[in-house]
Amino acid sequence: QGKFTLLRDTRTDGSFLVHHFLSFYLRAGCKVCFVALLQSFSHYNIVAQKLGVNLTAAKERGQLVFLEGLKSCLDLVFGEEEEQPGQPSPLQFLSESPSDLRALFDFVRVSLSAPDSGSWKGPVLLVDDLTVLLSLGATPVAVLDFIHYCRVHVCSQLKGNIVVLVHSSEDVEDEENELVVNSLCHHSDLILWAEGLATGFCKDVHGQMKIIKRLSLQQVGEQDLVQVYQYKIQERNVTFFARGLSAAVL
């Protein structure tokens, strides 16, 4: 309850983690607000079906609130001039000020505070992928503010969980990106870091996953617990194994 999990990927695609958490929380009966900035609804739907969850049904019964970033953006950019005055687009920062992500936060707040939330266990906010906001022109400070507001509202007030995916690269070329990612790392309770193998591409081992439990946040003097596994992604699930012990080797 009230945890902030950071999903991070470097040199590889960590979106399988997003799919996992989405189906995990839906199956657990939580109310999920999914801010999907990178892919379309049908993509997530098709993968979720393979994992045993029906997103359309979840949306209909009110368990899932889905913000399709791509569609919202199109509506904003190509939309008609007359807009309902009470409902600004969540991605309003694109046409308004790039340092104001308030509309996006309002969307999250409204969707997770709806009166029927009592019928679901704990609210969850899921974001894929936060670094896209930087590509769209939002300032890093605005992104961090947005996450901060979400944390206060979802984690502290509603005792819900937040899972956010960010993309980082090994060379520190993109300073804004590094700023956001590092800051989020410091504030996370759990970090799942999917990295491509340093030795290059391999058919049987798709990458390495570092799991960092930030025990140092809970108690002074505690060390963070770091575990490293390697993984291989398959059609319907992901297998994890200790380093060097992939099925191909054994």
**Minimum CB distance to another protein, residue 80 (Å):** 10
203 binds another protein (CB under 8 A): yes
Nearer to another protein, 3 or 71 (CB): 71
Give me the residues paired with residue 34 across strands. Answer: 66, 126
Of the ranges 113-121, 166-174, 179-187, 222-230, which one interacts with another protein (CB under 8 A)? 166-174
User: CB-side exposure of 46: number of CA atoms within 13 Å?
Assistant: 5
Non-local CB neighbours of 172 within 8 Å, separated by 6+ positions: 178
Give residue 54's identity as a one-letter amino acid code. N
Per-residue x/- track, 83-112, another protein (CB under 8 A): -----------xx--x--------------
Nearer to another protein, 167 or 214 (CB): 167
28 binds another protein (CB under 8 A): no
Applying the rule CB under 8 A, the residues between 208 and 247 that interact with another protein are 233-238
**Residue 164: which of 131, 211, 209 has the closest Cα?**
131
144 binds another protein (CB under 8 A): no
Nearer to another protein, 2 or 98 (CB): 98
Kindly list the residues in this chain that would bind another protein in the complex (CB under 8 A).
Answer: 13, 15-16, 19, 38-40, 42-43, 46-47, 50, 70-71, 73-74, 76-79, 94-95, 98, 129, 131-132, 134-137, 167, 169, 171, 173-177, 201, 203, 233-238
